[in-house]
Amino acid sequence: PSVLDSFALLSGQLNTLNKVLKHEKTPLLRNQVIIPLVLSPDRDEEIMRQTEGRVPVFSHEVVPDHLRTKPDPEVEEQEKQLITDAARISPDVAQKQIQSLNKMCSNLLEKISKEERESESGGLRQNKQTFNPADTNALVAAVAFGKGLSNRRPPGSGGAVQTGQPGAAAIIAGASGMQQVPMSGAPAQQQPMLAGVQIAQAGQPGK
C-alpha cells in the first residue's frame, strides 16, 4: 500500500508538471541554457541537503554528468544501431523471439523458485526434531535400571518363583541377561539352576 500511495503521488505530480510545461505561457525548455555559476571542489552542505546526500560537491568533474542532456556518443550510436536492427525484423520473427525469451525467463524463474523451496524444506528438515526426549529417557532408564519393567513371568516358562522371597525379581532379571555356556564334562540333559529358577538352554526358546 505504501508503494502504491507513493506511486500515485508521483503520478499526480508528474501530470501537474506536464500541464505546467504544456501551458502556452511556459517558455520552451529547449530554448533555455543551463550553465553552472559556481564550481567548487569543496564539500557543499546545501547541495548535499538538496540532493539527499547523492552529490557532495559541485565541481568540474561532476558538472558534465549532472547537466548532460544527451547520452554519451557511444551510447547514442549503440541505440541507433539497435533501432535499425529492430526495424529490419519482421513482426512474425519478433513475436517468435519474444515468445522464446518469455519461455526462457519462465524456465529460469521455475528453477529459482524450485531451488528456494528445496532450500526452505531442507532447512525445516534440519531444524525438525527427530526424536522424543521423554521416550529416550524412559528407554534408557528401562535398560539401565529396569525402571517400569514387569516382574511377572509368562505362564509355562517353567520354575515358579515365590514373590515373597526378597531379591527374587533382581535374580530373575540377572538370570535372563546371562548367556549359558556348556561346561565340559557336564551331562547334556542337566540344566543349570540359579536360586531355584531353571534357565533355558541355548537351543530351547526362552523368555
The reported pLDDT for the residue numbered 163 is 45
Domain presence at residue 93: yes
- Ordered per-residue pLDDT tens for the chain, 207 residues: 899 999 999 999 999 999 988 888 888 777 777 777 888 888 888 888 888 888 888 888 888 887 877 888 899 999 999 999 888 888 898 899 999 999 999 999 999 999 988 888 777 666 666 778 888 888 888 888 888 777 766 666 554 444 444 444 444 444 444 444 444 444 444 444 444 444 444 445 555
Query: How far apart, in whole angstroms, are the C-alpha atoms of residue 77 and residue 73?
Result: 6
Total number of domains in the chain: 1
Domain presence at residue 196: no
Domain presence at residue 75: yes
Q: What 3-state class would DSSP assign to 157? A: coil
Query: How far apart, in whole angstroms, are the C-alpha atoms of residue 107 and residue 98?
Result: 14
Structural domain harbouring 83: 71-118
Domain presence at residue 143: no
Nearest to 156 by CA among 195, 99, 198: 198
The reported pLDDT for the residue numbered 177 is 47
**The dihedral sign for the CA sequence 84, 87, 92, 94:** positive
- Reduced to 3 DSSP states, what percent helix, strand and coil does the chain have, rounded to the nearest 5? 55, 5, 45
Domain presence at residue 96: yes
Contact by Cβ (8 Å): 47, 56: yes
Domain presence at residue 112: yes
Domain presence at residue 78: yes
The reported pLDDT for the residue numbered 39 is 85
The reported pLDDT for the residue numbered 154 is 61
Contact by Cβ (8 Å): 85, 79: no
Burial of 21 (0-12, 13-18, 19+ CB in 10 A): exposed
The reported pLDDT for the residue numbered 175 is 46
Amino acid at the residue 92: D
Domain presence at residue 60: no
